Amino acid sequence: MATPKLAYQLPSLSSAAVENTASLFRIIALALISATAIASRLFAVITYESVIHEFDPWFNYRATKLLASKGFYEFWNWFDPTAWYPLGRVVGGTIYPGLMATSGVIYYILQAVNLPVDIRNICVLLAPGFSALTAWATYMFTCEMKDKSAGLLAASFIAIAPGYISRSVAGSYDNEAIAIFLLMFTFYLWIKAMKEGSAFFGTLAGLFYFYMVAAWGGYAFITNMIPLHVFVLILMGRFNYRIYVGYCSWYAIGTLASMQVPFVGFQPVKTSEHMAALGIFGLLQLVAFAELVRSHVASRQFKILLRSAVALLAVVGIALGALMTAKGWIAPWTGRFYSLWDTEYAKKYIPIIASVSEHQPTAWPSFFMDLHVLMFLFPVGVFILFKEMRDEHVFVIIYAVVGSYFAGVMVRLMLTLTPVVCVAAAVALSTLLDTYIDPVEPVEESTVAAGSSDADAAKKTGKKAAEAATEPTAQSTKASTSAPKSGIYGLDSRILTVANVILLLSYFVQHCTWVTSNAYSSPSVILSSKNRDGSLYIIDDFREAYYWLRQNTEPDSVICSWWDYGYQIAGMADRPTLVDNNTWNNTHIATVGKIMGSSEEKAYPILRKHDVEYVLVIFGGLLAYSGDDINKFLWMVRIAQGIWPDEIQEKNFFTARGEYKLDHDATPAMKESVMYKTSYYRFAEMFQGHAVQDRARGQTLPSVGPTLDYLDEAFTSENWIVRIYQVKKDDILGRDHKSANAFMDGKRRKRLRPTSHRKLLPVKKSTE
Amino acid sequence: MLLPRLPSSWTALTCIAVLLVPSGLSATSPNPAAFENSAVVRSIELGGATTQITTSYTVRSLKNKNAVYVFALSNDDASNTSWIEAKLKGSNTPLELKRSSDADEPIAFYELSLPQPLKVNETATFILTTVQSHASEPLPGSVRQTEPQALAYETGVYVLSPYDTLIQRIKLKSSTPDVISFIETSELDKFAEPGNKAVVKTGGTVTYGPFRNIRNSATEAFVKDEQQLVGVHYMYDNPVITIPELRRSAEISHWGSNLNIEDKVWLKNDGAKLKGHFARIEHLRQQVQPQTAQPHILKQVVFNLPSNVRDPYFYDTIGNVSTSRFRPASTKKIAGKKSSPLEKLSFLELRPRYPLMGGWNYTFTLGYDMPLEDWASYDAAQGAYVAAVPFLTAVPGAAYDDVEVKVVLPEGASIVDVNPPFDTTIEYQRHYTFLDTIGRPTITFKSKNLTDKHAGLIYITYKVDFRAHLQKPLAVAGGFLGLFLIATTFRRLDFRIHTNKKKQA
């Protein structure tokens, strides 16, 4: 074999030694990537503590605790009477249990070997742990796409990409924590099954699909991605029996398994979201049958046969689909699904979905924030894959298109885009590096455009040249010793490009670290600000108030708060709530909205009817905390208006000029509302005669605050963020509280100070 | 002290040993002719959750070889007395004291064995110190956030004694001069000196007596007919701290050379309950204007920890409590002198998440590590280790209602001797943690009704074989070996039904 011309000399090693060293390096690199993935997600634990974040994770944590303490069957049959008081909630049948089951299994294993790890720490550290697995799964997946070096790049990207970190920092104990690993691993297994025609990998893909179904509602993404891939391959005329075996084993096993999850049940055969998978399954049988027939029948007859069969099947299929939809056997698309196509849909018809910030369309800057340099490498990678266009590349291309669309529609779906961006970017970057690091110099041909410095062009030429060089027939008269030190093949342009890539990647790492530590590592249960000396000042109002509720109220006192805090109250205060973050009953939520939006007299009977003992509101006016209830108030009103348009109207809360005002110009409806009164009750006294400032909204309030007749202030946290009011019991004399209060106020002025101590002992007043 | 003889083989998981059965139930009532009390002075330090009572008995022996003196307490007093100790005046060594009557008898007798018997007309002075818990009650039972707190304390005016008493006095001392009222009745004149007032108040002290010539008062008839209830209603401007439950777990680790102590504490402000509701604005006002502050609101608890404490942690059910502060003791060591870790103290200021108003609860967990060499040593003569474990961390003035202390010894240890600082129920168990295979011997001490006076040391003597030390590394190594063997086997097995020729090539 002729020696190709080399740009620089490589040490001569046996190929076995190179292979072994490379494999060792890969293992070390993967271990380091995993460690980085875990470490970069620990900012929240280091800055704050090992605590469950935000809202939904609190429910998952609570469910996991029950699973860990009472076992799986108890968990499966769990009816939670404290949620959605007085309705209760069948928890076992309305959740994806994968996350809790995973933590539970880990907990039991650790218990079995006598390692006493607190269930909370397992929950907190589950997401970082699984992110290491995600890095590994992405590595495997990308290896199938290109090669191992691309795999390592993809793994390191996914390990620190903020788009994924945002949902998987320590403490963010949510379904997404394990779902992304399952997504990537199921995709990897599918690619493997499809490539090799292996029923084994198809079955594994089905099992991991089942795990995914048990873990996250986003499993529908897999349910539709794989059929779409197969469909496109069939359209491209690339049907083969490997795809047939892979898909059928995945679909049969995966669907049957997924139906075992109670929350999913018969959906895979009844709802529209799952019909694509079923349809492709049928189509594959037909295509396979057609292939069989074709191999036995002459081609002219086959054409006629095919045409009539296609026509017949189309008619039958459409008729069947229409009939089943009309009969209601196939459920129509859900609202959440529509909101994926029409971003205005939710705002119009389901305000409860639109009111969640993570369901808003993505802003452009957040693409850069979440993906940084990957955003630019992503299209390049897709382009490179387009050029090669193997069967598995089609998958990544489809994924890229679909993922980009969804990420544009909803902020939270940025999460599903991130893996494919990492894969495509890794392919792009690895191609670039392959070209520039490969010491083999291409044989100079006159056709090569020497002036081109474009990466793609370079790659192209590099590739051609490399092929040419490795061909044994190539003229290799030139010795491989001396290399030109400059020029397009020279060391200088190589070093320049590689250095540029390294610089780019270092910026990427820096950006990821910065974004992670600043934007994504706040538990939101604990707030913080900086002291003047730069030290961290912890604002722990939420836990203060929740713990007060837990310790000093009756265990069955019902708390009425906006649904955002339902899971937290259940988790931290351990008290029944009217509504929580599982927003399954819109009317119940609207009831709470009505309570908050109407006057005390109107709200009181509703509160009493629902056995409410305490009303809890979040108020950020003192601390300029903008995520408080007053800022969410309009959503409450809107949702309530959706149910009771006659009793509560959004327009009543805006001034004549259409402004949302809380100061002197506030509308009567606003000033009378329970929300306004409970937020600002006795707030003016803080300012001792100075102008009363609501710092969250920058408005000056009336110097005389609202008074309460039907509620009593029971607790207010240190920074006034959480305010808890007790609902008064019915007046013992049967008066309404307003007149009772007026009477008491009138009487109090006349009454003398009561004697300070009741006499119980035969007491003689001391002589002093 | 009676010590449990352990079963040599640990077949039984638990073994309950009740220490110190009221021995020698001397049904014979004390002999009234043995002694005469020349003077009895009882002084009661009025407090919150605990009340310390010091009674000095100056006695004259009426016969020779008089070796046992008997103290008497009324049944009520005895039931809320959580700590009792008798000493000779001027001496620091407590004398042996044991209860000689059953709990259901109307009068509780405590027998004091004298160090040397007294002869006729010889005199001695005994100091009896008792601590009562929950003896004072808030009166009124509930106050507003802005109002001060007052407590009331009641006691029998005559100190009970099976002997005749020549002169007797009782003083009730309030920590503040603010005594609102006290009980005075004409009934008190019966034993009082004629012409003198039976009760006098000076500053914060209310003195009843002197009373003269009280005959044997430790009888049911006396308690029923003669005893007078007196009491003081006083302002108390400290929080009344009760710890309804305390669960301490102390873990001795030889591998880590560490003594870890973890306390689960239930904390309650047992003072006057909060009337109405808590208003943050009032609370802030009280912080800004200290003269309006109500000191009976429990804002923080200071735990005095040994000086060698490291890595203290403080959390409750929902996470770390960020408001605590740890002040370690100065670490300067005096050359050549091994100082006890209890001499200098570290402080842990625990500030609950919210201020504890009267009647409010808070629970938390507090833990810390200490170097084992400061708490355990090897006794070569016995071939055993002796470890000292603090029974509880004293919070001044707090009453502990239910305390359970669990001491976990290293894996494979065998207990030789257990020596609690006072009589408690002892249970033996096994505890499995950190990759244990045979479990760790665990000693559980259960007590009720304790005070900060009970913060003594538990001494435990135990043996650990060298083999026991190796138990864990071997077990872990064995486990991993098993895993690797299984993995190795599986890698070498071929489960394929259809061998792919292409791949094998």
Q: What is the mean pLDDT of chain A?
A: 85
Encode pLDDT of A602-633 as tens digits. Answer: 999 999 999 999 999 999 888 888 888 998 89
Name the strand (E) or helix (H) holding B401: strand B399-408
pLDDT score for A398: 95
Residue B331: pLDDT band with limits 50, 70, 90: low
**Where do the DSSP E strands lie in A652-760?**
692-694, 699-701, 711-716, 722-727
Mean pLDDT of B112-133: 90
3-state secondary structure of B437: coil
Is the CB of B479 less than 8 angstroms away from the CB of A113?
yes
The mean per-residue pLDDT over the stretch A33-41 comes to 94
Closest Cα to residue A173, out of A122, A104, A134, A127?
A127
The answer to whether B60 and B123 are in contact (CB under 8 A) is yes
Written as six digits, the tokens of B11 are 């077949």
The whole-number average pLDDT for the span B288-314 is 86
Spatial separation of the C-alpha atoms in residues A61 and A53, rounded to whole Å: 10
Q: Do A686 and B281 touch (CB under 8 A)?
A: yes
Which of the four pLDDT bands, split at 50, 70 and 90, describes residue A474? very low
pLDDT tens sequence across B256-284: 899 999 999 999 999 899 988 898 888 98
- What pLDDT, in 10s, does the model give residues B411-432? 889 988 999 998 899 999 999 8
- B353 interaction partners in chain A (CB closer than 8 Å): 540, 543-544, 547-548
Whole-prediction pTM value? 0.87
Does the pLDDT of residue A651 top 90, yes or no?
Answer: no
Least Cα separation, residue A49 to chain B (angstroms): 7
The pLDDT value recorded for residue B447 is 92
Question: In chain A, whose CA is at the least distance from the CA of B354?
Answer: A544
Res A478: pLDDT: 41
DSSP label of B356: B
Residues of A within 8 A of B197 (CB-CB) are none
**How high is the pLDDT of residue B446?**
94
Q: Which chain A residues are within 8 Å of B284, Cβ to Cβ?
A: 686
CA gap A600, A731 in Å, rounded? 15
Which among B201, B233, B320 has the least Cβ separation from residue A761? B233
Task: Identify the residue among B322, B357, B365, B433 best suited for mutation to test binding to A, counting A beta carbons within 10 A and taking the highest.
Answer: B322
Does the structure show a pLDDT above 70 at A95?
A: yes
Instruction: Name the residue facing A758 among B140, B185, B437 (closest C-beta).
Output: B140
Residue with more model confidence, B176 or A397: A397
Judged by average pLDDT, the poorest of A294-303, A336-345, A661-670, A671-680 is A336-345
B435 falls in which pLDDT band (50, 70, 90)?
confident
Give the one of B276, B354, B363 whose C-beta lies nearest to A544's C-beta. B354
**Residue B432 C-alpha, separation from nearest chain A C-alpha, in angstroms:** 6
A114:B316 CB<8 A: no
Mean pLDDT of A295-311: 82
Count of residues making up chain A: 768
How much is the pLDDT for B499?
Answer: 65
**What per-residue confidence (pLDDT) applies to A251?**
95
In 3D space, the residue among A396, A416, A406, A390 whose CA is nearest the CA of residue A228 turns out to be A396
What pLDDT score does B240 carry?
92
Q: What is the pLDDT of residue A762?
A: 46
8 Å CB contact of A768 and B201: yes
Percentage of chain A beyond pLDDT 70 is 89
B450 close to B398: Cβ distance less than 8 angstroms:
no
Q: What is the largest CA-CA distance in chain A?
A: 125
Element housing B275 (H / E): none
Q: Are A100 and A64 in contact (CB under 8 A)?
A: yes
pLDDT digits (tens, 9 = 90+) for B64-93: 888 889 999 988 888 888 899 999 988 888
Residue A461, token pair as written in the block: 């030429």
Which pLDDT score is estimated for A331? 66
ipTM confidence score: 0.87
Using pLDDT thresholds of 50, 70 and 90, give the confidence band for residue A485. Answer: low
pLDDT tens-digit readout, A349-393? 777 777 777 778 888 888 999 888 999 999 999 999 999 999 999
> A649 to each of A575, A658, A669, B357, how far by Cα in Å?
31, 14, 9, 42
Between the CA atoms of A368, A370, A373 and A374, what dihedral angle is there, to the nearest 10 degrees? -120
Q: How far is B324 from chain A (nearest CA, A)?
A: 12
pLDDT at A456: 46
User: Lowest mean pLDDT: which of A240-254, B27-41, B324-338?
Assistant: B324-338
Q: Partners of A764 in the beta sheet?
A: B182
Residue B365 CA to residue B264 CA, distance in Å, equals: 4
Q: Which residue in A552, A553, A726 has the most chain B C-beta atoms within 10 A of its own C-beta, making it the best mutation to test that interface? A: A552
- Chain B contact set for A543 (CB, 8 A): 318-319, 353
Instruction: Say if residue B333's pLDDT is above 70.
Output: no
> What digits encode the pLDDT tens for the residues A415-467?
999 999 999 999 999 999 998 888 887 766 544 444 444 444 444 444 444 44
Pairwise CA distance, residues A406 & A237, whole Å:
28
Residues A285-314, mean pLDDT to the nearest whole number:
83
**Would the pLDDT of B4 be above 60?**
no
Share of chain A above pLDDT 90, in %: 43
